[in-house]
Amino acid sequence: MDIFIRSVAVLSRACGFVAGSLILISIFVVTHMVVQRYAFGQPTIWQTEFVIYALIASTLIGSPYVLLLRGHVNMDILPIYAGPRLRFALAMVASVGALGFCLLLFWFGAWYWHEAWSKDWHSDTLWRVPLWIPHLSLPVGMGILSLQYVADILSLVTGRTLPFGLPPKTGTDALVESFPAHVDTLT
Amino acid sequence: MSPLFMGLFVLLGTLLVMATGMPIAFSLGIVSVAALVAFEGPRSLEFMAETFLGGLDDFTLVSIPMFVLMGAAVASSRAGRDLYEALDRWLYRVPGGLVISNLGACALFAALTGSSPATCAAIGKMGIPEMRKRGYPDGIATGSIAAGGTLGILIPPSLTFILYGIATESSIGRLFLAGVVPGIMLTALFMAWTWFAVRRSGHQAYDPAFRWTWAEKFAALPKVLPFLAIIGAVMWALYGGVATPSEAAGVGALFCLLLAIVIYRMWRIQDLVAIFRDTTKESVMILMIIGTSILFAYMLTNLYLTQSLAEWIAALDVNRWVLLAAINAMLLVAGCFLPPAAIILMTTPILLPIITAADFDIIWFGVILTINMEVGLITPPVGLNLYVINGIAPDVPLSRILWGSLPYVMCMLLAILILCVFPGIATWLPDLLMGPA
Amino acid sequence: LTLKASHQWPSGTGDFRDEMIQIIAKELAAANVDLDVRVFPGSSLVKPREQWSALSKGQIDISLFPLDYAAGKHPQFSATLMPGLVKNHEHAIRLSKSPFMDDIKKIVEGEGIIVIADGWLAGGFASKKQCILNPEDAKGQVMRAAGPMFERMLAGAGASLASMPSSEIYTAMQTGVLDAANTSSESFSSYRLQEQVKCMTPPGDQALWFMYEPLLMSKRSFDRLEPKQREALMAAAKKAEDYGFKKAAEADASMVDLFQKAGVEIVHMTAAQADAWRALAKETSYKTFAAEVPNGQALIDKALAVE
Ligand code: NA
Ligand code: NA
């Protein structure tokens, strides 16, 4: 089980790398577009669309990584004030519910991708990108996100991690102690 | 089932699901799916992937990761410290000068980043320890930064305005401009309160005999220039007709990244990885909420809930200012529990028809909404700026931060009142530069 | 039974495409055949470009949008927003009933959608820099074109292209991002572009820009209706179609009027100038279309054959 949880974490980190790279590439493409259009007065054809698709992919593929970092913001006031048993139950309901949604989006995303691929859909612009390429990010991102949720649920059930990553206290103590956890990347 | 009853059902369901601690993005998703299946049948899910992807397929959204990166790059550098130091050397003789310098630095920094926590972190990291060292009370030191940081979403660029602009299909450039004067006004209110409070307490940060020389004063200025240059460049790009907000954000992000690498020497791979990790984390979080909030809005519209609610409120025939007060109260409560992005994306589809029917200006309401969201950033339990302050000064109790920021919250409520009486404060600049709406 | 109608235009401001759908709703209510139409205006339910898919999957029942929006899924639809194929509104009516349009409608039906009323919109060019009459006039101007086939033709003329929805043209021109734009007469008026441009080339008798914008219905929903309901629906659709044709022609005239009053110079293309554009289109848009679309050349030929 450790192997599964750890490999999913590695996969999610790889996704984070892809997501960050796509943002970096998008910055260069936007700048390239601005320079090409306004400095040289040349038409720009593919840049706008490329950047949109890249950032959608960055969002979907980056999602499992952000889940790993507990970066998907939630309303955690009830879990913070809940006792250990209720907190565990809440964590289970929250994770299983979210997993359910991610699986649905994965399923319909895969179906939509297949439609784009089998019917040879293109974007309705000058660039005419085959849509199966950008649409692929939906099933891939949601598939890995579902895997990360399964790994999270397994770690929770087996006691490898505490519910919501909160310290084993309740109430105001937990609130105060959990603050730095929310800002680890900002400070 | 009547639409209003259905709406109540959906509202309770959403609150219940969110209360479990499920991430907001997936809560909105699962509630949308459940309501669609229950009231429209399972076939309505066939359109789920298109709705989700179609919602994200928008060049305006490109500005979000770009502005987030601008903030992350500058916040991780020493830039905030330089800015604050320069201001301090010029303002140190004013009562509360150090606090006022920090507020000024917050306002300037806000013109570079679209997010409030980034503003708070960048200025607070240097400002809070310095103010405490010079003997300012902990409450003022932390409260002023918590509040000053919120200027990040009022003074353009602003993620809040971008999201509101997308949700209401109004011009983001116009919204940005509308935030400028209210932002300066709110900064002035913050400073006025600080001047008054510190003068009353008789606190002096410097020895009365101490003087910064003119040479020292001018020596601090060149360090601020790159900042002002980027702010100027982005503003010029936005309003000088060079680029759209997304394009300006992209170029601005590249500039800020270069500023951090070249001037602040953050070229080690760890530094860059940290910048991109922060950016990915925040932008993915926001964009996922956008994606599922579009499913949520689709569900609300499809079940005719937003339209019914708007019709119902119109039929109540209440005074429009009572209505506005009620909306503000509701948003303030929501602000206690939810971050601005989630509130705007969830409530705008519902509020827009009501606001339009009551004949309020959409751009003006965007400014009111944003100041309201600023309050939410420093109210517990979910207050992003509180988290940041707590990270910087973990030994200051939460209650003291809250008491310290309370007067600034009052300033924000006062600003909302002033804007209600004089809407022109928000609409004058966009009307002047972009023509009447 | 309640039918969901979705469109992307503002409601209640006199946009005739909104009114066409409102006519359907009113006529069906009056016909008393137990058919309700619930209108979702202004893209409030489905985004403009997703309406095709929503119709085909039966998520909405009725919609009205440029068929070219679905050109990415069926490249043949680009022929309905092709430079120089339609000369004027009467010509558009004849084209709607031609073998060319039969081919297009066959593809539409293949996706589970039916056309219940035809509609065409005309449009022109406007610039804040230089009047656009000959292809050479577009050279060096930053332009926004409505439709990829027009983008191709304008790129061939040496224009620099910027893509944006018509709602952003005003700001783009004001801030200087854009010199000139090509869009429908309806959009020129409703976005008050007379405040920005110096010179306008309206459609007139030698129009280059015509766009097919039919009233569409999901076949799944249509098949569910009883014969009496279908009859009432088709009668309402006919009314909406006639109204739409009348209004589309009026839109051109009122746009010219509006722009003239605002002091904008109005210029008309001569037959020779329009031919120069068509020759350019043949080398750019038609050529690409014929090369990339199955039976593309045949479709163009059929359209050009309509007198
Ligand atoms: Na800002
Ligand atoms: Na709050």
Asked whether the predicted pLDDT for residue B225 surpasses 50, the reply is yes
Q: Strand, helix or coil at C274?
A: helix
How does strand C160-161 pair with strand C142-144? parallel
H or E segment and range at residue C121: strand C120-127
Higher pLDDT, B202 or C81: C81
Q: Which residue has the tokens 């997993």?
A: A99
In a domain, B37, yes or no: no
% of residues, chain B, pLDDT over 90: 37
Q: Which of A145, A57, A157, A154 is nearest to A104 (CA)?
A: A145
| Confidence band of A180 (pLDDT split at 50, 70, 90) | very low
**Percentages helix, strand, coil for chain B, rounded to the nearest 5?**
80, 0, 20
In a domain, B75, yes or no: yes
| B40 shares contact with chain A (CB less than 8 Å) | no
What element of type H or E holds C38?
Answer: strand C36-40
Could you tell me the two tokens for B304? 């005719």
Task: Calculate the CA dihedral of residues C284, C287, C290, C296 and round it to 10 degrees.
Answer: 60
Neighbours of ion ligand 2 (CB under 5 A): B 335-336, 376, 379, 382-383
Give me the pLDDT at residue B240, please: 65
Q: What is the pLDDT of residue A184?
A: 36
Distance of residue A2 Cα from the nearest chain C Cα, in angstroms? 44
Nearest bound ligand to the CA of residue B249: 1
Tell me, what's the pLDDT at A185? 33
Which of chain A's residues have a Cβ under 8 Å away from the Cβ of B24?
Answer: 72-75
Closest CA to A75 of B382, C26, C201, C185: B382
Helix ranges (DSSP H) in B240-339: 245-258, 269-302, 305-316, 320-337
All residues at 6 or more sequence positions from B76 whose CB lies less than 8 Å from its CB, including other chains: B260, B266, B271, B274, B275, B278
**CA atoms within 13 A of residue B189's CA, in its CB half-sphere:** 21
Place of tokens 């399964």: A150
pLDDT digits (tens, 9 = 90+) for B365-389: 999 999 999 998 888 766 778 877 8
pLDDT, tens digit (0-9, with 9 covering 90-100), for A130-149? 999 999 999 999 999 999 99
**How many domains, chain A?**
1
Q: How far apart are CA C19 and CA C30, in angstroms?
A: 16
* Per-residue pLDDT tens digits for A93-130: 999 999 999 999 999 999 999 999 999 999 877 788 99
Eight-class DSSP state of B42 = G
CA distance C160 to chain A (A): 4
Round to whole Å and give the CA distance between B12 and B18: 10
Q: How many CA atoms, within 13 angstroms, populate the side-chain half-sphere of residue B116?
A: 30
| Among C144, C135, C248, CA closest to C196 | C144
- Residue environment code for A31-63, b if the CB has 16+ CB neighbours within 10 A, otherwise e: bebbebbbeeeebbbebbbbbbbbbbbbbbbbb
| Residue B393 Ramachandran class (φ > 0 left, ψ -120 to 50 alpha, else beta) | beta
Residues of A in contact with B125 (CB under 8 A): 187
Identify the bridge partners of residue C64 per DSSP, sorted by sequence position: C215
**B20 vs A: CB within 8 A:** yes
- Reference C293, options A120, B347, B387; nearest CA is A120
Q: By residue range, what is the domain housing residue B68?
A: 50-434
Burial of C82 per CB tally in 10 Å (0-12, 13-18, 19+): buried
User: Is 60 exceeded by the pLDDT of residue B175?
Assistant: yes
Distance CA B22, CA C253 (A): 57
Q: Is C197 helix (H, G, I), strand (E, B) or coil?
A: coil
**Option in C69, C73, C163 nearest A119 (CB):** C73
Ligand 1 geometric centre to CA of B122 (Å) = 13
Residues of B in contact with C45 (CB under 8 A): 298, 301-302
Residue B13 and residue B303: Cα distance in Å, rounded?
15
Residue A97 touches chain B, beta carbons under 8 Å: yes
> What residues does B355 pair with on adjacent strands?
none
Listing from the earlier edge strand, what are the strands of the sheet with C36-40? C36-40, C2-6, C62-64, C215-218, C113-117
More confident residue, B363 or A169: B363
Residue with tokens 């109004």: B170
Q: Is B233 in the A-facing interface, judged by CB distances under 8 Å?
A: no
Give the number of other Cβ atoms within 10 Å of residue B269's Cβ.
7
Calculate Rg over the CA atoms of chain B: 22
Q: How confident is the model at residue B418 (pLDDT cuts 50, 70, 90)?
A: very high
Report yes or no: B67 and B113 within 8 Å, Cβ to Cβ: yes
Domain count of the fold of chain B: 1
Contact call for A128 and C70, based on CB within 8 A: no
At residue A130's C-alpha, the angle toward residues A126 and A131, to 5°, is: 105
Task: Report H helices in chain C.
Answer: 16-31, 51-56, 89-96, 99-110, 135-138, 148-156, 169-174, 185-190, 219-224, 227-261, 271-283, 285-292, 296-304
Among candidates A37, A119, A121 on the partner chain, residue whose Cβ is nearest the Cβ of C162: A37
Count CA atoms within 13 Å of residue B187 on its CB side: 24
Supply the range of the domain harboring residue A6.
2-186
pLDDT of residue B363: 95
In chain B, which among 49-78 make CB contacts under 8 A with chain C? 50-51, 54-55, 57
Tokens linked to C219:
């076949």
> Is residue B3 situated within a structural domain?
no
Whether C68 and A45 lie within 8 Å, measured CB to CB: no
Summarised one tens digit per residue, pLDDT across range C8-52 is 988 877 889 999 999 999 999 999 999 999 999 988 899 988 999
The C-alpha of B64 sits at a distance from chain A's nearest C-alpha, in angstroms, of 10
Residue B9 counted as domain residue: no
* Residue C34, both tokens: 């137990």
Pull the structure tokens for residue B103: 């507020």
Segments of chain C scoring below 50 in pLDDT = none
Which single residue is written with the structure tokens 């601690």? B21
